[in-house]
Structure 1
Protein backbone atom coordinates (compact mmCIF):
# COMPACT_ATOMS: atom_id res chain seq x y z
CA UNK A 1 0.00 0.00 0.00
CA UNK A 2 1.45 3.36 -0.97
CA UNK A 3 1.53 6.39 1.28
CA UNK A 4 2.38 10.02 0.73
CA UNK A 5 4.60 10.11 3.82
CA UNK A 6 7.12 7.32 4.41
CA UNK A 7 7.22 5.62 7.79
CA UNK A 8 10.07 6.46 10.14
CA UNK A 9 11.79 3.04 9.84
CA UNK A 10 11.63 3.26 6.03
CA UNK A 11 13.15 6.74 6.06
CA UNK A 12 15.94 5.59 8.37
CA UNK A 13 16.74 2.56 6.21
CA UNK A 14 16.69 4.69 3.05
CA UNK A 15 18.91 7.32 4.67
CA UNK A 16 21.32 4.60 5.75
CA UNK A 17 21.49 3.02 2.28
CA UNK A 18 21.92 6.33 0.45
CA UNK A 19 24.66 7.56 2.76
CA UNK A 20 26.38 4.22 3.17
CA UNK A 21 29.06 4.37 0.48
CA UNK A 22 31.89 2.11 1.64
CA UNK A 23 30.68 -1.48 2.03
CA UNK A 24 30.39 -2.15 5.75
CA UNK A 25 33.55 -0.18 6.37
CA UNK A 26 34.55 2.23 9.09
CA UNK A 27 31.24 4.11 8.95
CA UNK A 28 29.38 1.08 10.28
CA UNK A 29 31.02 1.41 13.68
CA UNK A 30 29.81 5.01 13.97
CA UNK A 31 26.14 4.34 13.33
CA UNK A 32 23.90 4.83 16.31
CA UNK A 33 22.42 1.78 17.99
CA UNK A 34 18.92 3.02 17.19
CA UNK A 35 19.82 3.12 13.51
CA UNK A 36 21.27 -0.38 13.65
CA UNK A 37 18.08 -1.71 15.24
CA UNK A 38 16.28 -0.79 12.01
CA UNK A 39 19.09 -1.50 9.55
CA UNK A 40 20.33 -4.86 10.91
CA UNK A 41 17.19 -6.90 10.07
CA UNK A 42 17.04 -5.36 6.58
CA UNK A 43 20.69 -6.23 5.89
CA UNK A 44 20.23 -9.78 7.17
CA UNK A 45 17.05 -10.28 5.15
CA UNK A 46 18.64 -8.97 1.93
CA UNK A 47 22.05 -10.57 2.33
CA UNK A 48 22.42 -11.83 -1.25
CA UNK A 49 25.10 -9.13 -1.56
CA UNK A 50 27.17 -11.03 1.01
CA UNK A 51 27.34 -14.27 -0.96
CA UNK A 52 30.96 -15.34 -1.32
CA UNK A 53 30.84 -14.96 -5.13
CA UNK A 54 29.61 -11.36 -4.86
CA UNK A 55 32.27 -10.47 -2.31
CA UNK A 56 34.97 -12.07 -4.49
CA UNK A 57 33.77 -10.12 -7.53
CA UNK A 58 33.96 -6.87 -5.57
CA UNK A 59 37.36 -7.81 -4.17
CA UNK A 60 39.07 -8.61 -7.50
CA UNK A 61 38.17 -5.14 -8.73
CA UNK A 62 39.19 -3.39 -5.50
CA UNK A 63 42.03 -0.86 -5.53
CA UNK A 64 43.64 -2.41 -2.42
CA UNK A 65 46.28 -4.97 -3.45
CA UNK A 66 45.89 -7.04 -0.25
CA UNK A 67 42.15 -7.44 -0.78
CA UNK A 68 42.72 -8.47 -4.41
CA UNK A 69 45.40 -10.96 -3.37
CA UNK A 70 43.07 -12.49 -0.75
CA UNK A 71 40.25 -12.83 -3.29
CA UNK A 72 42.49 -14.42 -5.92
CA UNK A 73 43.71 -16.97 -3.35
CA UNK A 74 40.10 -17.81 -2.46
CA UNK A 75 39.11 -18.17 -6.14
CA UNK A 76 42.09 -20.40 -6.99
CA UNK A 77 41.41 -22.56 -3.92
CA UNK A 78 37.73 -22.86 -4.91
CA UNK A 79 38.66 -23.79 -8.49
CA UNK A 80 41.05 -26.49 -7.26
CA UNK A 81 38.40 -27.86 -4.93
CA UNK A 82 35.84 -27.95 -7.78
CA UNK A 83 38.18 -29.78 -10.18
CA UNK A 84 39.40 -32.26 -7.55
CA UNK A 85 35.96 -33.32 -6.37
CA UNK A 86 32.81 -34.68 -7.91
CA UNK A 87 30.62 -32.71 -5.54
CA UNK A 88 27.83 -31.01 -7.48
CA UNK A 89 27.56 -27.25 -7.22
CA UNK A 90 24.56 -26.36 -5.07
CA UNK A 91 22.13 -23.50 -5.49
CA UNK A 92 22.82 -20.47 -3.30
CA UNK A 93 20.61 -20.19 -0.24
CA UNK A 94 20.81 -16.85 1.54
CA UNK A 95 19.65 -18.47 4.79
CA UNK A 96 23.09 -20.06 5.08
CA UNK A 97 24.84 -16.69 5.31
CA UNK A 98 25.78 -15.38 8.74
CA UNK A 99 26.75 -11.73 8.48
CA UNK A 100 29.45 -10.16 10.59
CA UNK A 101 28.03 -6.65 10.92
CA UNK A 102 31.00 -5.58 13.03
CA UNK A 103 33.35 -6.14 10.08
CA UNK A 104 35.81 -3.39 9.27
CA UNK A 105 36.21 -4.55 5.67
CA UNK A 106 33.70 -6.03 3.25
CA UNK A 107 35.80 -9.16 2.85
CA UNK A 108 35.31 -9.88 6.55
CA UNK A 109 31.50 -9.81 6.34
CA UNK A 110 31.38 -13.61 6.14
CA UNK A 111 33.35 -16.45 7.70
CA UNK A 112 35.37 -17.81 4.77
CA UNK A 113 36.09 -21.10 6.56
CA UNK A 114 32.38 -21.82 7.06
CA UNK A 115 31.21 -20.55 3.65
CA UNK A 116 30.82 -22.72 0.58
CA UNK A 117 33.16 -20.72 -1.65
CA UNK A 118 32.82 -21.24 -5.40
CA UNK A 119 34.56 -19.44 -8.21
CA UNK A 120 32.36 -16.66 -9.65
CA UNK A 121 31.10 -17.71 -13.12
CA UNK A 122 31.77 -14.17 -14.35
CA UNK A 123 35.50 -14.88 -13.97
CA UNK A 124 35.47 -18.34 -15.59
CA UNK A 125 37.06 -17.00 -18.79
CA UNK A 126 40.14 -15.85 -16.86
CA UNK A 127 43.01 -18.23 -16.10
CA UNK A 128 44.66 -18.33 -12.69
CA UNK A 129 47.64 -16.44 -14.15
CA UNK A 130 45.35 -13.68 -15.44
CA UNK A 131 43.70 -13.42 -12.02
CA UNK A 132 47.03 -12.89 -10.29
CA UNK A 133 47.80 -9.89 -12.50
CA UNK A 134 48.52 -6.88 -10.28
CA UNK A 135 45.87 -4.47 -11.61
CA UNK A 136 42.19 -4.55 -10.58
CA UNK A 137 39.97 -6.56 -12.90
CA UNK A 138 37.42 -4.43 -14.72
CA UNK A 139 34.03 -6.09 -14.61
CA UNK A 140 31.01 -5.18 -16.72
CA UNK A 141 28.05 -3.53 -15.01
CA UNK A 142 25.50 -6.30 -14.69
CA UNK A 143 22.29 -5.62 -12.76
CA UNK A 144 21.50 -8.37 -10.30
CA UNK A 145 17.82 -7.59 -9.70
CA UNK A 146 15.83 -6.21 -12.59
CA UNK A 147 12.87 -7.32 -14.62
CA UNK A 148 15.14 -7.99 -17.60
CA UNK A 149 17.39 -10.23 -15.50
CA UNK A 150 14.40 -12.15 -14.15
CA UNK A 151 13.05 -12.63 -17.68
CA UNK A 152 16.44 -13.83 -18.91
CA UNK A 153 16.66 -16.33 -16.05
CA UNK A 154 13.21 -17.61 -17.01
CA UNK A 155 14.22 -17.84 -20.70
CA UNK A 156 17.49 -19.64 -19.97
CA UNK A 157 15.73 -22.09 -17.64
CA UNK A 158 13.06 -22.84 -20.25
CA UNK A 159 15.64 -23.21 -23.03
CA UNK A 160 17.84 -25.53 -20.99
CA UNK A 161 14.85 -27.85 -20.47
CA UNK A 162 14.25 -28.05 -24.24
CA UNK A 163 17.72 -28.16 -25.82
CA UNK A 164 21.12 -29.59 -24.95
CA UNK A 165 24.36 -27.63 -24.89
CA UNK A 166 25.38 -24.09 -24.19
CA UNK A 167 25.39 -23.03 -27.85
CA UNK A 168 21.90 -24.42 -28.52
CA UNK A 169 20.54 -22.87 -25.32
CA UNK A 170 22.06 -19.49 -26.19
CA UNK A 171 20.62 -19.68 -29.71
CA UNK A 172 17.15 -20.47 -28.38
CA UNK A 173 17.27 -17.56 -25.93
CA UNK A 174 18.35 -15.16 -28.69
CA UNK A 175 15.61 -16.47 -30.98
CA UNK A 176 12.91 -15.99 -28.34
CA UNK A 177 14.08 -12.40 -27.74
CA UNK A 178 14.03 -11.72 -31.48
CA UNK A 179 10.56 -13.23 -31.72
CA UNK A 180 9.30 -10.97 -28.92
CA UNK A 181 10.55 -7.92 -30.80
CA UNK A 182 8.97 -8.99 -34.10
CA UNK A 183 5.67 -10.13 -32.59
CA UNK A 184 5.22 -8.06 -29.43
CA UNK A 185 1.71 -9.36 -28.65
CA UNK A 186 0.13 -12.72 -29.14
CA UNK A 187 -3.59 -13.07 -29.54
CA UNK A 188 -5.68 -14.40 -26.71
CA UNK A 189 -9.19 -15.87 -26.52
CA UNK A 190 -10.78 -12.47 -25.97
CA UNK A 191 -9.50 -11.31 -29.39
CA UNK A 192 -11.58 -14.00 -31.13
CA UNK A 193 -14.81 -13.72 -29.15
CA UNK A 194 -17.38 -11.23 -30.44
CA UNK A 195 -18.82 -9.17 -27.67
Structure 2
Protein backbone atom coordinates (compact mmCIF):
# COMPACT_ATOMS: atom_id res chain seq x y z
CA UNK A 1 0.00 0.00 0.00
CA UNK A 2 1.39 3.43 -0.90
CA UNK A 3 2.21 5.81 1.92
CA UNK A 4 0.25 9.03 2.37
CA UNK A 5 2.05 12.13 1.12
CA UNK A 6 0.68 14.41 3.83
CA UNK A 7 1.66 14.46 7.47
CA UNK A 8 -1.04 13.73 10.02
CA UNK A 9 -0.29 16.05 12.91
CA UNK A 10 -1.59 15.52 16.43
CA UNK A 11 -2.77 18.69 18.13
CA UNK A 12 -4.19 18.23 21.65
CA UNK A 13 -7.49 20.11 21.95
CA UNK A 14 -7.92 23.04 24.32
CA UNK A 15 -9.73 22.06 27.50
CA UNK A 16 -12.68 23.90 28.98
CA UNK A 17 -11.90 23.88 32.70
CA UNK A 18 -15.27 25.50 33.46
CA UNK A 19 -17.10 22.47 32.02
CA UNK A 20 -19.79 20.95 34.22
CA UNK A 21 -20.20 17.85 32.05
CA UNK A 22 -17.52 15.46 30.83
CA UNK A 23 -18.64 15.95 27.22
CA UNK A 24 -18.12 19.72 27.53
CA UNK A 25 -14.39 19.46 28.30
CA UNK A 26 -13.64 19.78 24.57
CA UNK A 27 -15.40 22.05 22.07
CA UNK A 28 -16.09 19.36 19.48
CA UNK A 29 -17.30 21.86 16.86
CA UNK A 30 -13.92 23.65 16.89
CA UNK A 31 -11.79 20.51 17.06
CA UNK A 32 -10.17 18.82 14.10
CA UNK A 33 -9.79 15.16 14.87
CA UNK A 34 -6.37 13.63 14.32
CA UNK A 35 -5.00 10.14 14.80
CA UNK A 36 -3.57 9.20 18.18
CA UNK A 37 0.22 9.59 18.47
CA UNK A 38 0.65 5.82 18.68
CA UNK A 39 -0.71 5.46 15.12
CA UNK A 40 1.02 8.48 13.59
CA UNK A 41 3.48 6.39 11.54
CA UNK A 42 0.93 3.89 10.28
CA UNK A 43 -0.88 4.86 7.09
CA UNK A 44 -4.64 4.51 6.69
CA UNK A 45 -4.00 1.87 4.03
CA UNK A 46 -1.83 -0.18 6.41
CA UNK A 47 -4.52 -0.02 9.09
CA UNK A 48 -7.20 -1.16 6.63
CA UNK A 49 -4.97 -4.02 5.41
CA UNK A 50 -4.27 -5.20 8.96
CA UNK A 51 -7.97 -5.15 9.80
CA UNK A 52 -8.90 -7.06 6.64
CA UNK A 53 -6.25 -9.74 7.22
CA UNK A 54 -7.23 -10.17 10.86
CA UNK A 55 -3.89 -9.11 12.34
CA UNK A 56 -4.10 -8.46 16.06
CA UNK A 57 -2.56 -5.39 17.68
CA UNK A 58 0.08 -7.65 19.26
CA UNK A 59 1.42 -8.34 15.74
CA UNK A 60 1.73 -4.65 14.85
CA UNK A 61 4.95 -2.72 15.37
CA UNK A 62 4.27 0.30 17.55
CA UNK A 63 6.68 2.93 18.82
CA UNK A 64 7.91 2.09 22.30
CA UNK A 65 7.23 4.70 24.98
CA UNK A 66 8.87 4.31 28.40
CA UNK A 67 5.81 4.78 30.59
CA UNK A 68 6.86 2.67 33.57
CA UNK A 69 10.41 3.82 34.14
CA UNK A 70 11.87 4.25 37.60
CA UNK A 71 11.82 8.03 37.11
CA UNK A 72 8.07 7.94 36.44
CA UNK A 73 7.49 5.75 39.48
CA UNK A 74 9.51 8.15 41.66
CA UNK A 75 7.44 11.10 40.42
CA UNK A 76 4.19 9.26 41.11
CA UNK A 77 5.38 8.60 44.66
CA UNK A 78 6.44 12.25 45.07
CA UNK A 79 3.09 13.60 43.82
CA UNK A 80 1.23 11.21 46.13
CA UNK A 81 3.27 12.35 49.15
CA UNK A 82 2.87 16.03 48.23
CA UNK A 83 -0.89 15.58 47.86
CA UNK A 84 -1.09 14.13 51.36
CA UNK A 85 1.04 16.88 52.96
CA UNK A 86 -0.26 20.13 51.44
CA UNK A 87 -3.50 21.58 50.07
CA UNK A 88 -3.82 23.43 46.77
CA UNK A 89 -2.05 23.40 43.44
CA UNK A 90 0.56 26.05 44.25
CA UNK A 91 1.55 24.46 47.55
CA UNK A 92 1.76 21.00 45.99
CA UNK A 93 3.72 22.31 42.99
CA UNK A 94 6.11 24.18 45.29
CA UNK A 95 6.75 21.13 47.45
CA UNK A 96 7.37 18.94 44.41
CA UNK A 97 9.74 21.46 42.80
CA UNK A 98 11.64 21.98 46.06
CA UNK A 99 12.02 18.25 46.57
CA UNK A 100 13.23 17.71 42.99
CA UNK A 101 15.78 20.53 43.28
CA UNK A 102 17.20 19.32 46.59
TM-score by length of 2: 0.43
Q: Give TM-score scaled by structure 1 length.
A: 0.24
Radius of gyration: which is bigger? 1
